[in-house]
Structure 1
Amino acid sequence: MDSLAEAVLNDASAEEIEREPVPDAYVAAHLNATDTGMFQGVEDKDVRKSLQVGRVAMPELAPDEVLIAVMASSINYNTVWSATFEPLPTFQFLKRYGKVGGFAARHDRPYQVVGSDASGVVVRTGAGVNRWRTGDHVLVSCIQTDDHEPATHADSMLSEGQRAWGYETNFGGLAHYAVAKASQLIRKPAHLTWEESGSSMLTASTSYRMLIGDKGARIKLGDIVLIWGATGGLGAFAVQMVRNAGGIPVGVVGSEAKAGAARALGCEVVINRAEIGLEGPATPEETIERAKRLGKIIRRETGEDPHVAFDYVGQATFGISVFVVRRGGTVVTCGSSTGYQHQYDNRYLWMNSKRILGCHAANLHEQAECGRLFALGRLAPVLSTVYSLEEVGEAARLVQQNRHTGKVGVLCLAPEEGLGVTDPRLRERIGAAQLNPLRNL
């Protein structure tokens, strides 16, 4: 380990951290451009074969950027996409970004450091950074934006220059160090550990935008919300947000074990997808039959049809979501883990005045509001397991095969779990069980 990392781990002062040299290279989980064709014609695209852990060159810092000593990160599904080189190799994103020129050219390298979550300590700031200082404990937003673009100042998610950090950019969070724009940073909740905070922001803030923010469904007191994959990284936060908003979460899960996890999160109604017959592809007629079975269960348990369907599953569920929400209801989507080509019967959309709403990640204000909810103890992390950086392939494989619940954390520089808490009184007041509802299931 280099002397800069040692200083951070020893809780050195800002002055001491700045005296230590930035290393020329660092350890990171990365992909190699030469491997992009390795899964052609292969049915099982095992991400353990493509994800590498080793040393990469330290990039130069731009004036609006910070260098972060990463304590912990997590596996998001975009890392699985990157590591399978599907739906297209992310090196294409890096090459396109590099053509912007200037500091953007650094991103076009024969390797990509992946990861779109991180918690850590600021160790260097660019000349143009004035809001953050060396030694600050921070979370990193998953979205980079171009703040010179007018659309950014209305909603950065509408900006042509917005990119998913560690997916459409280089130098992501599954590493000992990460480079991020200063406009990506959020203050770390003081009562959370590195691994709890480092596994939360991407999925929690996306769920926030989908359900709570003014660009999303804007759920309200009493709304019934159907949540597909209620114990996944997105779904587990959606359950909490629906409960906090006074709504009724109806969660669909894939096993009895996950049903217990959904109830631990506060899901009032839990449905095993086997009850719907949600196995394998379906004809349009079969999709309607599945939707009718689901609707009957929801009405039996709640007395009504759902106001909102929270759907990131995609191809396997989208037609059901469109059918099952009530007249004037909303299907809100942020992804398609089972396939991007959605089929639904449009009659049930237009004739019942329903709407489909797309959401992608969250802007900085939404992420900050989400961070505030964590800091207040109103949202709890949903970690189920934690791996070391050296085991990142196994961690990503777990997510690839949907064998996880909640979030899978990754320790980067943090040598063990449980570190990083600077407000133990708040942590004690909230209680360990409330903070980690999925850890002991």
Structure 2
Amino acid sequence: MDEIISALLSEDAAPGDFQHLRLPESYRGNVVRKEDTGMFEGMATADKDPRKSLHLQDVPTPEPGPGEALIAVMASAVNYNTVWSSIFEPLPTFGFLERYGRLSELTRRHDLPYHVLGSDLCGVVLRTGPGVNRWQPGDRVVAHCLSVELESAEGHNDTMLDPEQRIWGFETNFGGLAELALVKSNQLMPKPEHLTWEEAASPGLVNSTAYRQLVSRNGAGMKQGDNVLVWGASGGLGSYATQLALAGGANPVCVVSSPQKAEICRRMGATAIIDRSAEGYKFWKDEDTQDPKEWKRFGKRIRELTGGEDVDIVFEHPGRETFGASVYVTRKGGTIVTCASTSGYRHEYDNRYLWMSLKRIVGSHFANYREAWEANRLIAKGKIHPTLSKVHPLEDTGQAAYEVHQNLHHGKVGVLALAPREGLGVRNHQLRATHLEAINRFRGDDDSEEAGR
């Protein structure tokens, strides 16, 4: 591994140097273990501690098969699916690995008694399998997390519709919170060269998700001038929706829960901001009863910020807590687009406000390769910026996941893998200097309630 790290840090290393590097028999990866799946039984979700279930251990190095690539991981990031995996909710991920393992001889490698987690990475290609032509050893890359087989017709118009669509590092093994990772070659994209390894590793999952959800024709199809309600607008997901709205000529209405989070939205350029805690919005009277008067009060506040207009699009991900309000405040003919349910999966809303006002609810899940590529292209051009707030070493991935689980930070939490320290990997210093303030705008803020989404 020392040989590999030396080559990774050398500016003089050529592609051939990587091709001939000896691969280690094993590498360190952050895993959950099948034997531990019952360790949190009977505990409340908030009390389940990823620091107890995530283990950094040596695992055998997989050989890349057809269409695959082995990546030396310089940095990764924590997403909410890592939290779900580490607390075995809503169910242990080993069922995903077992089903994937039954698909073919090649996928059988994924069905193991341990699961290497992680759905983001930035690193360098070490090896490619048969049939990989675009990517070569030595290429500096980021990986999106869509894993598809594309043997069925359904996936060839939108790969997210492939019956064998999975999220890498969550529903497959050999994820990015490790020194090495195994990906399909069609997950790879060029590293934005004005960013450090850890900065470039952090946008992948959330930026691509927000792009499909908000911008793509498969999501809300946002256009210039749209009013866009963004829940958790300073969080890992909402912060990209806010940036995409601003970059696309729309008007984000940012919902946050503290003055500190409101200030982050202002730094991004937003002006219409609602601090729901300060203004005391409570959309549920009790566990079973919503309060339509609060929906109306919320809608009135939105119109005060938009010059009397309702929102064209609601960027939904909290789910049960907010969904009734989201449907109510959307304009006639508008769109509620949802990609998650972090406050609960059982949504309730008054259907009269949907059907009689011709509103649409659109489900959105991650992104296809084209959408992920376009989202990464915006990062590479300096149009959208990483929202990295904090970085942990690989050994402290459990702590990083704990912080995301407890919502103790803003934006994204990064993890260094083979990169020995922060700040490495930049090649386009001129572009970086132009955007340095925006790149660092989330640094130093670490008390978020909406982070990691």
Aligned counterparts of 2:294 and 2:280: Cα–Cα separation in 1: 6
- The secondary structure found in structure 2 opposite 1:227 is strand
**Offset at residue 101 of structure 1 (A):** 2.1
Aligned counterparts of 2:287 and 2:62: Cα–Cα separation in 1: 51
1:280 and 1:55, CA in 2 relative to 1: closer, same or farther beyond 3 A?
Answer: farther
Aligned counterparts of 1:172 and 1:300: Cα–Cα separation in 2: 46
For residues 137-165 of structure 1, the C-alpha deviation after alignment (integer angstroms, 9 at most, x for no partner) is 11101111113322222000111111000
Aligned counterparts of 2:347 and 2:332: Cα–Cα separation in 1: 21
**Offset at residue 284 of structure 1 (A):** 6.8
2:296 to 275, 288, 292: 292
Does the Cα contact within 8 Å between 2:236 and 2:410 map onto a contact in 1?
yes
Q: More deviation in 8-17 or 394-403?
A: 8-17
- The secondary structure found in structure 2 opposite 1:129 is coil
1:418 to 419, 423, 434: 423
Does the Cα contact within 8 Å between 1:264 and 1:438 map onto a contact in 2?
no
Q: Give the equivalent residue in structure 1 for 2:218.
A: 215
Aligned counterparts of 1:272 and 1:426: Cα–Cα separation in 2: 34
Aligned counterparts of 1:167 and 1:405: Cα–Cα separation in 2: 23
Q: Give the equivalent residue in structure 2 for 1:37.
A: 38
Q: Give the equivalent residue in structure 2 for 1:102.
A: 105
Q: Give the equivalent residue in structure 1 for 2:257.
A: 254
1:174 corresponds to 2:173: no
Give the letter aligned to residue 20 of structure 1.
L
1:313 to 309, 315, 318: 318
**Offset at residue 189 of structure 1 (A):** 1.1
- The secondary structure found in structure 1 opposite 2:73 is strand
For residues 389-414 of structure 1, the C-alpha deviation after alignment (integer angstroms, 9 at most, x for no partner) is 11111111111011211111111111
Percent of aligned pairs sharing the same letter: 50
Alignment of structure 1 residues 123-134 onto 2, 5 Å: 123-134=126-137
Q: Give the equivalent residue in structure 2 for 1:3.
A: 3
**Offset at residue 127 of structure 1 (A):** 1.7
Q: More deviation in 306-315 or 10-19?
A: 10-19
Q: Give the equivalent residue in structure 1 for 2:440.
A: 436
For residues 201-232 of structure 1, the C-alpha deviation after alignment (integer angstroms, 9 at most, x for no partner) is 11001100011111011111111110000011
Alignment of structure 1 residues 328-367 onto 2, 5 Å: 328-367=333-372
Aligned counterparts of 1:106 and 1:314: Cα–Cα separation in 2: 35
* Unaligned ranges ≥5, structure 2: 446-453
Q: CA RMSD in A?
A: 1.4
* Unaligned ranges ≥5, structure 1: none
Q: Give the equivalent residue in structure 2 for 1:27.
A: 28
Q: Give the equivalent residue in structure 1 for 2:449.
A: none
Q: Give the equivalent residue in structure 2 for 1:327.
A: 332
Does the Cα contact within 8 Å between 1:308 and 1:331 map onto a contact in 2?
yes
Aligned counterparts of 1:81 and 1:440: Cα–Cα separation in 2: 26
For residues 75-94 of structure 1, the C-alpha deviation after alignment (integer angstroms, 9 at most, x for no partner) is 10000010111111100000
Does the Cα contact within 8 Å between 1:30 and 1:114 map onto a contact in 2?
yes
Q: TM-score, normalised by structure 1?
A: 0.97
2:84 to 81, 84, 91: 81
Give the letter aligned to residue 395 of structure 1.
A
1:91 corresponds to 2:83: no
**Offset at residue 272 of structure 1 (A):** 1.2
For residues 99-118 of structure 1, the C-alpha deviation after alignment (integer angstroms, 9 at most, x for no partner) is 11211000000000000000
1:62 corresponds to 2:65: yes
For residues 30-66 of structure 1, the C-alpha deviation after alignment (integer angstroms, 9 at most, x for no partner) is 1000000001001211111111112111112112100
Aligned counterparts of 1:188 and 1:151: Cα–Cα separation in 2: 30
1:287 and 1:188, CA in 2 relative to 1: closer, same or farther beyond 3 A?
Answer: farther
Does the Cα contact within 8 Å between 1:287 and 1:320 map onto a contact in 2?
no
- The secondary structure found in structure 2 opposite 1:92 is helix
Give the count of matched residue pairs. Answer: 440
Give the letter aligned to residue 165 of structure 2.
Q
1:13 corresponds to 2:18: no
1:139 to 119, 139, 142: 142
Q: Give the equivalent residue in structure 2 for 1:264.
A: 267
